[in-house]
Amino acid sequence: MENKYSKSKEQNRRSNERKSYNKFNDNKTQSFKKNNQKRSDAYAMEKAKTNRLEFEKFQKLEGKTFKVTCKELDEAGKGIAFYQGLQLHIPNLLPNEEADVKVEKYRGKIDVRVIHYEKTSPIRVKCRCDLFNICGGCQYQHISYADQLRMKNEYIANKFKDLRGNYAIYPIIGMDDFDHYRCKNQMVYGVNKNGSIIAGFYEEDTHKIVNYEDCMIQDLTANKIMKTVKKLMLKYNIIPFNEDSELGLLRHVFVRVGKHSKEVLVALVTASEIFPGRKDFVKDLRKEHPEITTIIQSVNETTTSMVLGDKERVLYGDGYITDTLCGLKFQISATSFYQVNPIQTEHLYSKAIEFAGLKSTDVVLDAYSGIGTIGLIASSRCKEVISVELNKQAFKDAIRNAKINGIKNTYFYNADATEFIKEMAEEKTHLDVLLMDPPRSGSTEEFLYSVSKLQPRKIVYISCNVETQVRDLKYLLRAGYQIKKVQPVDMFPSTKHCENVVLLEKR
């Protein structure tokens, strides 16, 4: 699709207006960064000093047992209690519960663990997962689902309490069936002390693999496929990759499942391109699981925590799956950004489109657009959508998804969202509605400053991190916007996380 703005941008690239704008904006940004760095350095020094003193106090308590009462949960889902002036963060302890706890050194850290409950909370339920106390992935699984939703609503309300305005925070949208909701699934493979192959998850805050193959939030089909892979590794003598020795082949297995299409993508993540017996391995895997529609080999030769690698080889099928979301079809590859909970994503995007109140004459900017999902869904309700995404593969996926759905009023740009909107503001491009779904770190000051210059009629801000969302909303409030509606969506049942949609309008 032709980028109809590209010519005018090239022609104006050296204009005096742009130089003036960039100079002003750069000076403003540098000043902000310098002051922010000073505050950060001072805060870091004070925090380091406090942490050192607290650690010394904790060391004196090592091996001791004492009683505590939980006051509240921290943002990691751990219970906060106090003892001898120390604030303790204790796993598996709920508000108002009383327990005997013990201070222990575990993997080089001082840790506090419950050894006996004196009084339990009425919101506590029996965990459905044997790894709850070890894995750390499902911080709220010991809490009834109704209370999970209540707590998430309270969390949102607490974060928004200092944001001025007359707006509604609606009840969080929950799920009827909150098990096995993930369409994106993965396991890490390794060897235990006995030399047996294991598959599962990293223990919380470690790289120790805990053997477990029946995750309660991962897709059931994905769990079964990952079990089969372990069995085939024994048959074909495939050794799991060892992070310390950097020997072995298979690192992870990554599975995507189409919620509506039921198509299945399997990515075998290896440490090397050389995969002995891969054809027979793939043949056996397909025989065990005929539901698999494509298999790829993802080569990850790095020492980082990233799961998927940069190199990819299709071993079977097309290398992607197709699924339906809000009435449109999307091709999804292993590396595509696609929300992990398709059922709740439909609620999330439908609510965002509803909040936007689009008109047939509207020009919409879809910033941080990923594979173009929300912009393409919005396209039938407006004049045109400008879609901006930095990741090159996601950008290509977005163009392909527009073609699949026959959408011709969406224009795609492979660019940094901040740099792109700065150019829009400089050129005074007309913009009616901004849809933004930034990463967990939130947006940038430069992006928000440019938004304030463009003055779109409405802003719909989607976020998976309420803290950075609130930070950015404060800037937009100062820039002349007002919050009108807030809608939390429980995208991640059994965990502390939730998604949040906010509508802002010009005052």
Same domain, 167 and 196: no
Classify 211 as helix, strand or coil: strand
CA dihedral 122, 124, 125, 130 (to 10 degrees): -160
Q: What is the pLDDT of residue 471?
A: 96
Q: What is the pLDDT of residue 488?
A: 98
CATH at residue 477 = 3.40.50.150
Indicate if 464 belongs to the active site.
yes
Residue 142 DSSP symbol: T
Q: What is the pLDDT of residue 37?
A: 57
Q: Which domain holds residue 91?
A: 65-124
Same domain, 205 and 243: yes
The answer to the question of residue 111 being in a domain is: yes
Same domain, 114 and 39: no
Same domain, 120 and 231: no
Number of separate domains in the chain: 4
Percentage of residues of the chain with pLDDT beyond 70: 88
Same domain, 245 and 207: yes
The answer to the question of residue 30 being in a domain is: yes
Q: Which of 138, 382, 464, 498 is catalytic?
A: 464
The answer to the question of residue 333 being in a domain is: no
**Structure confidence by residue, pLDDT tens digits, 50-104:** 455 566 666 777 888 999 999 999 888 899 999 988 899 999 999 999 999 998 8
CA contacts within 13 A on the Cβ side of 202? 10
Helices (H), 321-372: 342-356
Same domain, 357 and 493: yes
Higher per-residue pLDDT: 184 or 48: 184
Same domain, 429 and 498: yes
CB 435 within 8 A of CB 374: yes
The answer to the question of residue 193 being in a domain is: yes
Q: What is the pLDDT of residue 206?
A: 82
Cα–Cα distance measured from residue 438 to residue 370, given in angstroms and rounded to the nearest whole number: 10
CB 321 within 8 A of CB 256: yes
CATH at residue 72 = 2.40.50.140
pLDDT band at 419 (very low <50, low <70, confident <90, very high): very high
Q: What is the pLDDT of residue 134?
A: 82
Mean predicted lDDT score pLDDT of the chain? 89
pTM metric for this prediction: 0.85
pLDDT reading at 281 higher than 60: yes
Q: What is the pLDDT of residue 233?
A: 96
**For 253-282, what is the mean pLDDT?**
96
**Structure confidence by residue, pLDDT tens digits, 7-53:** 444 444 444 545 554 554 555 555 545 555 555 555 455 444 445 55
Q: What is the pLDDT of residue 38?
A: 52
**For 458-474, what is the mean pLDDT?**
96
**Structure confidence by residue, pLDDT tens digits, 219-239:** 999 999 999 999 999 999 999
Same domain, 319 and 461: no
Cα–Cα distance measured from residue 473 to residue 505, given in angstroms and rounded to the nearest whole number: 12
Same domain, 405 and 499: yes
**For 325-333, what is the mean pLDDT?**
95
- The last residue of one of the domains, among 266, 291, 325, is 325
Same domain, 170 and 222: no
Same domain, 421 and 371: yes
